[in-house]
Amino acid sequence: MNWLIENGTFLTQDPERPVVRGWLAVRGDRIAGLGEGEAPQDVRSVARERVDGKDLLFLPGLVNTHGHAAMTLLRGYADDLKLQEWLNHYIWPMEARLTDDDVYWGTLLAAAEMIRTGTTAFADMYFFMDRAAEAVETSGMRASLCRGIIGLGSEAEWREKVADGIRFAREWHGKADGRIRAMLGPHAPYTCPPPVLEKVIEAAHELGLPIHIHMSETAAEVEQNVRDYGVRPAEHLDRVGVFTRPTLLAHAVHLTDGEIALLAERGAAVSHNPVSNLKLASGIARVPDMLRAGVTVTLGTDSVASNNNLDLFEEIKLTAMLHKGVTGDPTVLPAGQVLRMATVDGARVLGMEDTGMLKEGWKADLIALRMDRTHFVPRTDFVSHAVYAACGADVEHVWVDGRQLMRGRELLTLDEERIRHEVQHRFERLLRG
Amino acid sequence: MNWLIENGTFLTQDPERPVVRGWLAVRGDRIAGLGEGEAPQDVRSVARERVDGKDLLFLPGLVNTHGHAAMTLLRGYADDLKLQEWLNHYIWPMEARLTDDDVYWGTLLAAAEMIRTGTTAFADMYFFMDRAAEAVETSGMRASLCRGIIGLGSEAEWREKVADGIRFAREWHGKADGRIRAMLGPHAPYTCPPPVLEKVIEAAHELGLPIHIHMSETAAEVEQNVRDYGVRPAEHLDRVGVFTRPTLLAHAVHLTDGEIALLAERGAAVSHNPVSNLKLASGIARVPDMLRAGVTVTLGTDSVASNNNLDLFEEIKLTAMLHKGVTGDPTVLPAGQVLRMATVDGARVLGMEDTGMLKEGWKADLIALRMDRTHFVPRTDFVSHAVYAACGADVEHVWVDGRQLMRGRELLTLDEERIRHEVQHRFERLLRG
């Protein structure tokens, strides 16, 4: 179907024309054209639906490159605790009780929350991933999914998990009209000994898929890596061969100059999760140094259990502020750069082709923010407003693959009240043990 | 007039009973009572209006202890710049063109934005303060206002500014049914030489008013203080006698252990402005150390020009996260403590009696958050949700002094569309020069 936005302001993320004030036409799942001023007559005549873009600011949909969606089930359940206490006494016992239905409903809740706050694509690493994939399919979102593989058990155990990760990737990659992509997801160097990683790498080559892995989230795990393997995690992963595949590293908080240079050389990308890293007291990633070295850095929320929401606008503003404060240089991470990290760079790192830019021929994944709001006055620099003044609640409409998922704050693909009820009910069951 | 909230959940900030699930009654400007379960018959019979508290979470109104309200006029005008370039080429030239009407409308816009995001009381340091006070009176908010005094000109110049600050305080302290309070506002040690401070201190004693001053926001100004006076700012202000009055220090980013001990001993309080401090690359205040030493720390947004909004929920979440990340200890600044900083502690520091707690006999300054939202599911710990998951857009109702200022997201005291139009128009005039 053809539809048309008229009279809108578009922050395209296309370096050739960053701001367009005019029209954008969609045919099927792609942007058929955009231009300044009024849409040409031939475009208008074929548009079966028109959106009045007055007072709306259009951006490519945000891309959340790291999380564990179903953990919405544990929002607010445990905060302000030491990491080991948090994991041992709260998170892991609850996760041990999760059913595949819990993962389905928890992922649906995450999808509802992400759509509401302008995220159109996300990466997810968890378990019972078939049900997570079903939730993505239902929601209409785009996602890159992987079965998280913890390789600490017996060989039989980890081989089964690796096999399940491979099976999941084979079954789901390219499904839902291509909106679902798969990665392979070995959890982390400290939970996946080299034989596990080697098996995963082999499969990733066979399937032509990228690898999504946590790395150097805490100082303690870096020390352990040095004790166990004599080198820090980046060099360790390089030796084992992980970087022979496109790799997305979640967190990457504790890196040396040498590790940053290595990631740049190997083309490994990073998902920066500043809210989670601060809240869990993991530390502050060296984002300006990574960017300077040429590492692609993108943004992620991590799970709701360490955030405690999925509003990527918070990560956007925090990323733009935090590294100024830490480096003492107010010119690092300017607003426009952070917006690219949260859109086009995120999509590229998740292997989503032609996604994350408002440009002819690219995927029609876009969001509209209401600009007739008191906190957007005066109308000065729209990039600044989107990064420093906006929040997820400013998102009015959301489209993915040309299909509208939210219209005027109303979700069109999800029964939000039912989802909220299910998650509440399931949380109470989990709590009873 | 008497009115009553029934069936609500109240985060009182009263240590004796932090959470009440039941009712809260208001008589005139004060809370007449609150209790668990159903309201007693005698309370219900005199209530002329009832509010259904179902799915609402009630908190004392938030208190923003440092800002320059009228600078909403410069939102998004200049970001991501070196401090001196930002001030010299952008902020100061625009401020030089501001009229008293601009300050009136800019302050109204700030008030509208603060009410929308749950702030009921704020501190403001600027110029043309009579017009700012008029805006506060119109808005129905509570505020502690001071004329900012920059004492760098000739003696005649600074004496005139000090005299204006004193005149303003005499005229406005206690006005608007006591909702407006005054402070004296020498801008900073580096802009107010000792003779200026001495004159201000003398007046503060005469008028019985507190002092509001910037201190140690940047490392450069601390160095300058040491060059000029041989000591760091806290010791300097102590020697000059500032701390003989109750004092509110904005920022206090760069402090030694000795300075922290001195502030604790003198009872000087701090307004922590983490968003502004990060965005301007000023640094990160030693909040956990200050709290441990017994310094009262409260929260402020600073001006919109370095933020770029007035949603104090951002400062609340950032404060709870940032110091965990910086200290490596996830147990510092737990959610409940930060909520007290943003409510009862803020009110006390601004000299607002019986404000900031939901308790019989205290001022009826309160806000209600809608809890039937996807990002508040599951219902676990409401304090955690208010700190880590909420944003200003979740605020549904606002009352100050028992009077409703926002009902169902609609402002009742301010013509928001007119204010937006005026500010836009005035910004465009300022831009033309």
Q: Is it true that A2-61+357-411 and A74-349 share their CATH fold? A: no
Q: Is the Cβ pair B326, A284 closer than 8 Å?
A: yes
Cα A202 from Cα A244, distance rounded (Å)? 10
Provide φ and ψ at A122, rounded to 5°.
Answer: -150, 160
Q: Cβ contacts (< 8 Å) between A107 and chain B: which residues? A: none
What is the predicted pLDDT for the residue at B433?
A: 84
Find, among A84, A74, A146, the residue nearest to A110 by Cα: A74
**CB nearest A374 (choices: B76, B109, B281):** B109
Amino acid identity for residue A69 in this structure: A
Give every residue of chain B whose pLDDT is below 70, as ranges: 1
B374 near A113, Cβ under 8 Å?
Answer: yes
Q: Cβ contacts (< 8 Å) between B391 and chain A: which residues? A: 311, 391-393
Q: Is the Cβ pair A384, B76 closer than 8 Å?
A: yes
In a mutational test of the A interface, the residue from B107, B374, B387 whose CB has the highest number of chain A CBs within 10 Å is B374
Q: Is the Cβ pair B328, A283 closer than 8 Å?
A: yes
Which 8-state DSSP code applies to residue A70? G
**CB nearest A278 (choices: B275, B280, B324):** B324
CATH class in words for A74-349: alpha beta
B367 near B61, Cβ under 8 Å?
Answer: yes
The CATH superfamily holding the domain B62-349 is: Metal-dependent hydrolases (3.20.20.140)
Cα B149 from Cα A14, distance rounded (Å)? 46
Find, among A423, A335, A325, the residue nearest to A384 by Cα: A335
Per-residue pLDDT tens digits of chain A, which is 433 residues long: 699 999 999 999 999 999 999 999 999 999 999 999 999 999 999 999 999 999 999 999 999 999 999 999 999 999 999 988 999 999 999 999 999 999 999 999 999 999 999 999 999 999 999 999 999 999 999 999 999 999 999 999 999 999 999 999 999 999 999 999 999 999 999 999 999 999 999 999 999 999 999 999 999 999 999 999 999 999 999 999 999 999 999 999 999 999 999 999 999 999 999 999 999 999 999 999 999 999 999 999 999 999 999 999 999 999 999 999 999 999 999 999 999 999 999 999 999 999 999 999 999 999 999 999 999 999 999 999 999 999 999 999 999 999 999 999 999 999 999 999 999 999 999 999 8
Q: Is the Cβ pair B330, A81 closer than 8 Å?
A: yes
A263 near A28, Cβ under 8 Å?
Answer: no
What is the predicted pLDDT for the residue at A214?
A: 98
Torsion of CA A413, A416, A417, A422, to 10 degrees: 110
Q: Which residue spans within A164-210 are E strands per DSSP? A: 180-182, 185-186
Q: Cβ contacts (< 8 Å) between A72 and chain B: which residues? A: 377
Contacts of A355 (CB under 8 A, 6+ apart): A60, A63, A121, A142, A344, A347, A362, A363, A365
Q: Is the Cβ pair B320, A280 closer than 8 Å?
A: no
What is the predicted pLDDT for the residue at A1?
A: 65
B96: left (phi over 0), alpha (psi -120 to 50) or beta: alpha
Q: Tokens 């801008």 map to which residue?
A: B187
List, in sequence order, the alpha helices (H) in A69-193: 83-85, 92-96, 100-116, 129-139, 155-172
Answer whether the bond into residue A308 is a cis peptide, omega within 30°.
yes
Chain A residue nearest residue B310, CA to CA: A375
Q: Is the Cβ pair A280, B424 closer than 8 Å?
A: no
Q: Which residue spans within B276-402 are E strands per DSSP? A: 297-299, 366-370, 395-400
**CB nearest A113 (choices: B77, B328, B375):** B375
Q: Is the Cβ pair A79, B335 closer than 8 Å?
A: yes
| pTM, to two decimals | 0.98
What is the predicted pLDDT for the residue at B83?
A: 87
Instruction: Chain B: give the shortest CA distance to residue A206, in Å.
Output: 39
What are the distances in angstroms from CA A46 to CA A49, A143, B83? Answer: 9, 31, 51
Find, among B231, B227, B236, B143, the residue nearest to B188 by Cα: B236
Chain B residue nearest residue A334, CA to CA: B80
A229: left (phi over 0), alpha (psi -120 to 50) or beta: alpha
What is the predicted pLDDT for the residue at B151?
A: 96
List, in sequence order, the alpha helices (H) in B148-306: 155-172, 194-207, 219-229, 233-240, 257-266, 274-279, 287-293
Q: Is the Cβ pair B325, A279 closer than 8 Å?
A: yes
What is the predicted pLDDT for the residue at A32?
A: 97
Find, among B99, B105, B138, B141, the residue nearest to B120 by Cα: B141
Query: A2-61+357-411 maps to which CATH number?
Result: 2.30.40.10
- Report domain extents, chain B: 2-61+357-411, 62-349
- Per-residue pLDDT of A210-229, as tens digits, reads 999 999 999 999 999 999 99
Q: Cβ contacts (< 8 Å) between B322 and chain A: which residues? A: 278, 322
Q: Which residues pair with B50 in a beta bridge?
A: B4
Contacts of A134 (CB under 8 A, 6+ apart): A104
Q: Based on the number of CB atoms within 10 Å of its own CB, is B163 exposed (0-12), middle (13-18) or buried (19 or more)? A: middle
